Amino acid sequence: MAPEASPLWAKNLPLDRAIHHFTVGDEPTTDRALLAWDAIGSAAHARTLAKGGYLAHEDVRALLAALKELHGEALRGTITITPEMEDCHTALELALIERCGEAGKRIHLGRSRNDQVILALRLLMREELAQLGEQVIQIALAFLALGKTHATTPMPGYTHLRRAMPSTWGLWASAFAEGLLEEVEALHAVLARFDRCPLGAAAGFGAPLELDRAHTAKLLGFAQVQRNPIDVMNSRGRHEGALADWLASVASVLEKAFWDLILFSTEEFHFVTLPDAFTTGSSIMPQKRNPDVLELSRATCRLLRGQANLVHEVASGLPSSYHRDVQLLKAPVLEMLKNASGMFAVLPALLNGLIIEAETSQAACGNELYAAHAATALAINGMPFRDAYRTVAAQVMTGGFAPDPDLYTGATRADLTTPKALLHDHQASLHTARTHWQECLANVWELPIDQELP
Amino acid sequence: MAPEASPLWAKNLPLDRAIHHFTVGDEPTTDRALLAWDAIGSAAHARTLAKGGYLAHEDVRALLAALKELHGEALRGTITITPEMEDCHTALELALIERCGEAGKRIHLGRSRNDQVILALRLLMREELAQLGEQVIQIALAFLALGKTHATTPMPGYTHLRRAMPSTWGLWASAFAEGLLEEVEALHAVLARFDRCPLGAAAGFGAPLELDRAHTAKLLGFAQVQRNPIDVMNSRGRHEGALADWLASVASVLEKAFWDLILFSTEEFHFVTLPDAFTTGSSIMPQKRNPDVLELSRATCRLLRGQANLVHEVASGLPSSYHRDVQLLKAPVLEMLKNASGMFAVLPALLNGLIIEAETSQAACGNELYAAHAATALAINGMPFRDAYRTVAAQVMTGGFAPDPDLYTGATRADLTTPKALLHDHQASLHTARTHWQECLANVWELPIDQELP
Amino acid sequence: MAPEASPLWAKNLPLDRAIHHFTVGDEPTTDRALLAWDAIGSAAHARTLAKGGYLAHEDVRALLAALKELHGEALRGTITITPEMEDCHTALELALIERCGEAGKRIHLGRSRNDQVILALRLLMREELAQLGEQVIQIALAFLALGKTHATTPMPGYTHLRRAMPSTWGLWASAFAEGLLEEVEALHAVLARFDRCPLGAAAGFGAPLELDRAHTAKLLGFAQVQRNPIDVMNSRGRHEGALADWLASVASVLEKAFWDLILFSTEEFHFVTLPDAFTTGSSIMPQKRNPDVLELSRATCRLLRGQANLVHEVASGLPSSYHRDVQLLKAPVLEMLKNASGMFAVLPALLNGLIIEAETSQAACGNELYAAHAATALAINGMPFRDAYRTVAAQVMTGGFAPDPDLYTGATRADLTTPKALLHDHQASLHTARTHWQECLANVWELPIDQELP
Amino acid sequence: MAPEASPLWAKNLPLDRAIHHFTVGDEPTTDRALLAWDAIGSAAHARTLAKGGYLAHEDVRALLAALKELHGEALRGTITITPEMEDCHTALELALIERCGEAGKRIHLGRSRNDQVILALRLLMREELAQLGEQVIQIALAFLALGKTHATTPMPGYTHLRRAMPSTWGLWASAFAEGLLEEVEALHAVLARFDRCPLGAAAGFGAPLELDRAHTAKLLGFAQVQRNPIDVMNSRGRHEGALADWLASVASVLEKAFWDLILFSTEEFHFVTLPDAFTTGSSIMPQKRNPDVLELSRATCRLLRGQANLVHEVASGLPSSYHRDVQLLKAPVLEMLKNASGMFAVLPALLNGLIIEAETSQAACGNELYAAHAATALAINGMPFRDAYRTVAAQVMTGGFAPDPDLYTGATRADLTTPKALLHDHQASLHTARTHWQECLANVWELPIDQELP
What is the DSSP code string of D383-446? S-HHHHHHHHHHHHHHT-----GGGS--SPPP--HHHHHHHHHHHHHHHHHHHHHHHHHHHHHH
* Dist CA C243 CA B309 (whole Å): 19
Say if residues D341 and D139 touch (Cβ distance below 8 Å): no
Split at pLDDT 50, 70, 90, the class of D3 is very low
Spans of chain B below 70 pLDDT? 1-5, 284
Residue type, C138: Q
A16 and chain D in contact, CB less than 8 A? yes
Nearest by Cα to D283 from A200, A113, A84: A113
- The three state secondary structure string of chain C is CCHHHCCCHHHHCCHHHHHHHHHHCCHHHHCCCCHHHHHHHHHHHHHHHHHCCCCCHHHHHHHHHHHHHHHHHHHHCCCCCCCCCCCHHHHHHHHHHHHHCHHHHHCCCCCCHHHHHHHHHHHHHHHHHHHHHHHHHHHHHHHHHHHHHCCCCEEEEEECCEEEEEEEHHHHHHHHHHHHHHHHHHHHHHHHHHCEECCCCCCCCCCCCCCCHHHHHHHCCCCEECCCHHHHHHHHHHHHHHHHHHHHHHHHHHHHHHHHHHHHCCCCCCCEECCHHHCECCCCCCCCCECHHHHHHHHHHHHHHHHHHHHHHHHCCCCCCCCHHHHHHHHHHHHHHHHHHHHHHHHHHHHHHCEECHHHHHHCCCHHHHHHHHHHHHHHCCCCHHHHHHHHHHHHHHCCCCCCHHHCCCCCCCCCHHHHHHHHHHHHHHHHHHHHHHHHHHHHHHCCCCCCCC
**H or E, element range at D330:** helix D330-353
Say if residues A87 and A33 touch (Cβ distance below 8 Å): no
Query: Cβ separation of C288 and A162 shorter than 8 Å?
Result: yes
B window 187-206, beta carbon within 8 A of A: 188-189, 192-193, 202-206
Which is the catalytic residue, given A282, A320, A424, A436?
A282
A352 and chain D in contact, CB less than 8 A? no
User: In Å, how far is A132's CA from the nearest CA of chain B?
Assistant: 18
* Dist CA C358 CA C365 (whole Å): 11
Say if residues D241 and C183 touch (Cβ distance below 8 Å): no
* Dist CA D387 CA D385 (whole Å): 5
**H or E, element range at B132:** helix B113-149
- pLDDT of A3 over the 50 cut: no
C76 and chain A in contact, CB less than 8 A? no
Phi-psi category of residue A147: left, alpha or beta, with phi > 0 → left and psi -120 to 50 → alpha = alpha
Residue type, D34: L
Residue in chain D lying closest to C325 (CA): D160
Q: What is the mean pLDDT of residues D160-169?
A: 96
Contacts of D346 in chain A (CB under 8 A): 15, 18-19, 22
Residue pLDDT, tens place only, D111-136: 999 999 999 999 999 999 999 999 99
C421 and chain B in contact, CB less than 8 A? no
Contacts of C268 in chain A (CB under 8 A): 266, 268-269, 364
| β-strands D154-159, C355-356 pairing | unpaired
From residue B34, give the alpha-carbon distance in Å to each of B22, B77, B362, C303: 20, 11, 52, 21
Contacts of B263 in chain D (CB under 8 A): 161, 263
* Dist CA A232 CA B175 (whole Å): 8
Split at pLDDT 50, 70, 90, the class of A1 is very low
| β-strands D224-225, D196-197 pairing | parallel
Residue in chain C lying closest to D383 (CA): C106
Say if residues B180 and D284 touch (Cβ distance below 8 Å): no
User: In Å, how far is A36's CA from the nearest CA of chain D?
Assistant: 7
- pLDDT of D4 over the 80 cut: no
Q: What is the mean pLDDT of residues D321-345?
A: 97
A164 and chain C in contact, CB less than 8 A? yes
* Dist CA A11 CA D124 (whole Å): 16
pLDDT 10s per residue in chain C (454 long)?
Answer: 334 568 777 677 888 899 999 999 989 889 999 999 999 999 999 999 999 999 999 999 999 999 999 999 999 999 989 888 889 999 999 999 999 999 999 999 999 999 999 999 999 999 999 999 999 999 999 999 999 999 999 999 999 999 999 999 999 999 999 999 999 999 999 999 999 999 999 999 999 999 999 999 999 999 999 999 999 999 999 999 999 999 999 999 999 999 999 999 999 999 999 999 999 887 767 777 899 999 999 999 999 999 999 999 999 999 999 999 999 999 999 999 999 999 999 999 999 999 999 999 999 999 989 999 999 999 999 999 999 999 998 998 888 898 888 888 778 899 999 999 999 999 999 999 999 999 999 999 999 988 888 7
Q: Provide the 10 A C-beta neighbour count for residue D12.
A: 13
A280 and chain C in contact, CB less than 8 A? no
- pLDDT of A80 over the 60 cut: yes
C161 and chain B in contact, CB less than 8 A? no
Q: Write down the pLDDT at residue D54.
A: 96
Say if residues C5 and B32 touch (Cβ distance below 8 Å): yes
Residue in chain B lying closest to A310 (CA): B309
Residue pLDDT, tens place only, C235-264: 999 999 999 999 999 999 999 999 999 999
* Dist CA B295 CA B275 (whole Å): 14
Query: Cβ separation of A302 and D323 shorter than 8 Å?
Result: no
Q: Write down the pLDDT at residue B282.
A: 74
Query: Cβ separation of C412 and D109 shorter than 8 Å?
Result: no
Query: Cβ separation of C288 and A159 shorter than 8 Å?
Result: yes
Query: Cβ separation of D386 and C105 shorter than 8 Å?
Result: yes
* Among B159, B161, B375, beta carbon nearest to D262: B161
Q: What is the ipTM of this complex?
A: 0.96
pTM: 0.97
A113 and chain B in contact, CB less than 8 A? no
Q: Between A and B, how many CB-CB pairs are < 8 A?
A: 301
Sort C415 into a burial class: Cβ within 10 Å, 0-12 / 13-18 / 19+: middle
Q: What is the mean pLDDT of residues D430-453?
A: 93
* Dist CA C91 CA D250 (whole Å): 36
Query: Cβ separation of A161 and C266 shorter than 8 Å?
Result: yes
Residue pLDDT, tens place only, D258-285: 999 999 999 999 999 999 999 988 776 7
Contacts of B296 in chain C (CB under 8 A): 22-23, 25, 324-325, 327-328
* Displacement of CA D244 from its chain's centroid (Å): 7
* Dist CA C198 CA C123 (whole Å): 10
Sort C242 into a burial class: Cβ within 10 Å, 0-12 / 13-18 / 19+: buried
How much is the CA Rg of chain B, to the nearest whole Å? 28
Contacts of C172 in chain D (CB under 8 A): 230, 320
C300 Cβ neighbours under 8 A, 6+ residues apart: B328, C251, C339, C340, C342, C343
Say if residues B166 and A205 touch (Cβ distance below 8 Å): yes
> Which one has a higher pLDDT value, C341 or A282?
C341
* Dist CA C263 CA C258 (whole Å): 9
Residue type, C130: A
Query: Cβ separation of B283 and C89 shorter than 8 Å?
Result: yes
- pLDDT of D7 over the 90 cut: no
- pLDDT of A254 over the 60 cut: yes
Q: Write down the pLDDT at residue A234.
A: 98
From residue C322, give the alpha-carbon distance in Å to each of A339, B303, B363, C216: 41, 18, 30, 22
Residues of C annotated catalytic, as ranges: 160, 282
B330 Cβ neighbours under 8 A, 6+ residues apart: B26, B27, B30, B31, B34, B121
User: In Å, how far is D255's CA from the nearest CA of chain C?
Assistant: 7
User: In Å, how far is C342's CA from the nearest CA of chain A?
Assistant: 21
Q: Write down the pLDDT at residue B4.
A: 52
* Dist CA C271 CA C263 (whole Å): 9
Nearest by Cα to B255 from B349, B146, B180: B180
DSSP structure class, residue B280: B
- pLDDT of D58 over the 70 cut: yes
A window 196-255, beta carbon within 8 A of B: 202-209, 226-231, 233-235, 237-238, 241-242, 245, 248-249, 252-253, 255
Which subunits sit against B, judged by 3+ Cβ pairs under 8 A? A, C, D
A162 and chain D in contact, CB less than 8 A? no
Residue in chain D lying closest to B309 (CA): D309
A402 and chain C in contact, CB less than 8 A? no
* Dist CA C142 CA C257 (whole Å): 13
> Using CA atoms in the order D285, D287, D292, D295, what is the torsion angle rounded to 10 degrees?
-80
C344 and chain B in contact, CB less than 8 A? yes
Q: Between C and D, how many CB-CB pairs are < 8 A?
A: 301
* Among A290, A291, A389, beta carbon nearest to C286: A389
Residue in chain C lying closest to B26 (CA): C339
Q: Report residue A18: phi and psi, to 5°.
A: -65, -40
* Among C241, C257, C321, beta carbon nearest to D157: C321
From residue B10, give the alpha-carbon distance in Å to each of A227, B18, C87, C138, C143: 56, 6, 24, 15, 21
Residue pLDDT, tens place only, D170-229: 999 999 999 999 999 999 999 999 999 999 999 999 999 999 999 999 999 999 999 999
Contacts of C377 in chain D (CB under 8 A): 208
Q: What is the mean pLDDT of residues D375-399?
A: 91
A168 and chain D in contact, CB less than 8 A? no
B429 Cβ neighbours under 8 A, 6+ residues apart: B188
Query: Cβ separation of C283 and B113 shorter than 8 Å?
Result: yes
A421 and chain D in contact, CB less than 8 A? no
Query: Cβ separation of C375 and A262 shorter than 8 Å?
Result: no
D449 and chain A in contact, CB less than 8 A? no
Residue in chain D lying closest to A329 (CA): D303
Residue pLDDT, tens place only, C135-169: 999 999 999 999 999 999 999 999 999 999 999 99
How much is the CA Rg of chain D, to the nearest whole Å? 28
Residue pLDDT, tens place only, A55-74: 999 999 999 999 999 999 99
Residue in chain B lying closest to A112 (CA): B372
Query: Cβ separation of D21 and A342 shorter than 8 Å?
Result: yes
User: In Å, how far is C338's CA from the nearest CA of chain B?
Assistant: 5
Say if residues C178 and C136 touch (Cβ distance below 8 Å): no
Nearest by Cα to B135 from A232, A227, C325, C13: C13
> Which one has a higher pLDDT value, C411 or A279?
A279
Contacts of B179 in chain A (CB under 8 A): 231, 234-235, 238
Q: Write down the pLDDT at residue C319.
A: 98
